[in-house]
C-alpha cells in the first residue's frame, strides 16, 4: 500500500506547506494596522489563560508570523523615509532581511 503525502517528502516541502497556511501572501503593501490589530487580539486572548497548550502554541506561531510581517512593514517604511529625506543619495530600496537587521 502506497500512501501519497507529498508535503512529508522533505522538510523543504513541509516548510512550504506551513508557509502557505500561516504566512499571509505577499502583496505590494502589507496592511500594517490590520496585522497589528490581529496581533493585539492574539495577545489579549493568550493573556486570559483560557487556552489549551495546543491552542496557545497555535496562537504563538501565528503571533510570530504577524510580528515578522509588522517588522518588515516598519523596516520598509523606514527605508522609504530615509531615501525621501535624502540621508543617502545612493540608497536603493531593498527587500527586508531580518537576519541582516542592524539593531
What's the domain range around 63?
52-86
Q: Is residue 47 part of a domain?
A: no
Q: What pLDDT does residue 24 have?
A: 52
Residue 8 makes CB contacts below 8 A (sequence gap 6+) with 14
- Tell me, yes or no, whether 95 lies in a domain: no
pTM of the model: 0.55
**pLDDT tens column, 46-88:** 999 999 999 999 999 999 999 999 999 999 888 888 888 776 6
In a domain, 99, yes or no: no
Cell of 66: 504577524
Q: Considering its fold, how many domains does the chain have in total?
A: 1
| pLDDT tens-digit series, residues 6-38 | 444 555 665 555 555 555 555 435 688 999 999
In a domain, 74, yes or no: yes
Return the number of other C-beta atoms located less than 10 Å from residue 69's C-beta: 20
Amino acid at each position: 500500500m502506497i500512501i501519497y503525502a507529498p508535503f512529508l517528502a522533505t522538510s523543504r516541502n513541509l516548510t512550504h506547506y506551513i508557509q502557505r497556511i500561516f504566512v499571509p501572501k505577499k502583496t505590494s503593501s502589507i496592511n500594517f494596522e490590520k496585522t497589528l490589530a490581529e496581533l493585539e487580539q492574539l495577545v489579549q486572548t493568550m493573556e486570559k489563560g483560557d487556552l489549551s497548550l495546543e491552542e496557545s502554541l497555535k496562537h504563538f506561531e501565528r503571533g510570530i508570523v504577524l510580528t515578522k510581517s509588522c517588522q518588515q512593514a516598519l523596516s520598509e517604511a523606514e527605508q522609504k523615509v530615509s531615501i525621501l529625506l535624502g540621508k543617502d543619495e545612493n540608497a536603493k530600496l531593498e527587500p527586508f532581511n531580518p537576519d541582516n537587521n542592524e539593531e
